[in-house]
Chains A and B, each alone.
Chain A
């Protein structure tokens, strides 16, 4: 079969191209609702942000709330817990980044970078290894060697600033976006 050079697009070809293009654009616009419907609904988004009343949390205690489907650890630290956290050098930490959504990604994991007020530690209670909920360590019932949390699934241990110290978890417990609305109320998310 003889090969022919491709002829210049005629007016007829332009019509076919135009129709095809309009059809393709229409199909793309029509497809969008089917993809977007899988995104979180307005009801889920309405719960993306919660207000937490801190007055129920005693000194040295943790209260667990629910935020975006995950446990939220709100811990009111004692002076000793704060001092212990501050005494740790950055080079002793397996994960040296703050993992604080309120700070830039590169912020180092100093105790000050783990919360805006030293007394209050607000963390997402999901172990950064495989997602179990770590158990809080109290003087009456110590969990792990660092006074923070112990994850019973695979033995990850966190300190009193929620930073990973020992075990398979690769990162510090995450600090969610939050801000103080008053001395006794924070808005998370």
Chain B
């Protein structure tokens, strides 16, 4: 909405700015625009990218970022990564889920470790940390956000997340002070981001033979996270197309009916 209004202002020959808009005052760069298969009114998700992206999430991101709203059975649902139910079940079983109290009512073992059980399809993906405080302690005070809705929760969506993930290769301009414990990323507001560069070439080995460059890994995980934010996108586009076709037909018939009814009255 705000983007639409800004475009309107630009069309009127005006430009919008904050107090000043020099490039090296800490204001973030505009996001890189990338072509996504799920863009546009009839976009769909690339199944291969979703599966590769899930691997990237699982092996890299999930160390710090939760994905609280995605369940294992969603991995096998239509419109998603397209794992079979057996594959999704195996993926679930590989995870340790905090268990319900045992017969003695215990939640922890003798060493103080949380009792766990293997995941089942009905479980949601477990978070890496049990609560916010533990997450901050493990990340020098910063809270890695949950990623279930990240591409809806940031202006620029997939382009923004892609820009951040690939933006670490930019070196700070001379004179720019990178804060202690932070990293330079020109696409992040203020340009100091608490997240260390997460992706490296080859950090994930793809089973389908795709070369895992940083850009490729970023593309794949952004596609996966787009699905995580909008798992119903394909169904929405498909039904939308059918609904619009129907409505145009109905509007056409109503128009003809309207003309017939009013023929002698004008």
Contacts and interface: CB of A to CB of B under 8 A. Distances in A.
A43 B253 contact: no
A23 interface: yes
Given A22-B249, A22-B250, A43 B122 contact: yes
Interface of chain B, main secondary structure: helix
Contact of B260 (A15, A23, A29, A47): A15
A46 B250 contact: no
Contacts of B260: 12, 15
Interface in B112-138: 120-122
B29 interface: no
A46 B257 contact: no
B253 A15 contact: yes
B256 interface: yes
B64 interface: no
A18 B257 CA distance: 10
Given A15-B257, A15-B260, A19-B254, A46 B249 contact: no
B257 A19 contact: yes
A51 to B, nearest CB: 7
Given A12-B260, A19-B253, A19-B257, A51 B120 contact: yes
B143 to A, nearest CB: 27
Contacts of B257: 15-16, 19
Contact of B77 (A15, A19, A42): A42
B55 interface: no
Contact of A46 (B122, B246, B247, B256): B122
Contacts of A51: 120
A51 B249 CA distance: 50
Given A43-B71, A46-B121, A18 B253 contact: yes
Given A15-B256, A46-B73, A23 B250 contact: yes
B119 to A, nearest CB: 12
Nearest to B72: A46
Interface of chain A, main secondary structure: helix
Contacts of B120: 50-51
A26 B71 CA distance: 34
Contacts of A12: 260
A38 to B, nearest CB: 18
Given A15-B256, A19-B257, A42-B73, A47 B250 contact: no
A22 B250 CA distance: 7
Interface in B235-266: 246-247, 249-250, 253-254, 256-257, 260
Contacts of A42: 71, 73-74, 77
Contacts of A26: 246-247, 250
A29 B260 CA distance: 27
Interface in B4-48: none
B235 to A, nearest CB: 11
Contacts of A16: 257
A18 B256 CA distance: 11
A23 B257 CA distance: 12
A47 B122 contact: yes
Nearest to A63: B103
Interface string A1-37: 0000000000010011011001100100100000000
Given A15-B256, A22-B246, A42-B71, 16 more contacts: A15-B260, A19-B250, A19-B253, A19-B254, A19-B257, A22-B250, A22-B253, A26-B246, A26-B247, A42-B73, A42-B77, A43-B71, A43-B122, A46-B71, A46-B73, A50-B120
28 contacts: A12-B260, A15-B253, A15-B256, A15-B257, A15-B260, A16-B257, A19-B250, A19-B254, A19-B257, A22-B249, A22-B250, A23-B250, A26-B246, A26-B247, A26-B250, A29-B246, A42-B71, A42-B73, A42-B74, A42-B77, A43-B71, A43-B122, A46-B71, A46-B73, A46-B121, A46-B122, A50-B120, A51-B120
Interface of B: 71, 73-74, 77, 120-122, 246-247, 249-250, 253-254, 256-257, 260
Interface of A: 12, 15-16, 18-19, 22-23, 26, 29, 42-43, 46-47, 50-51
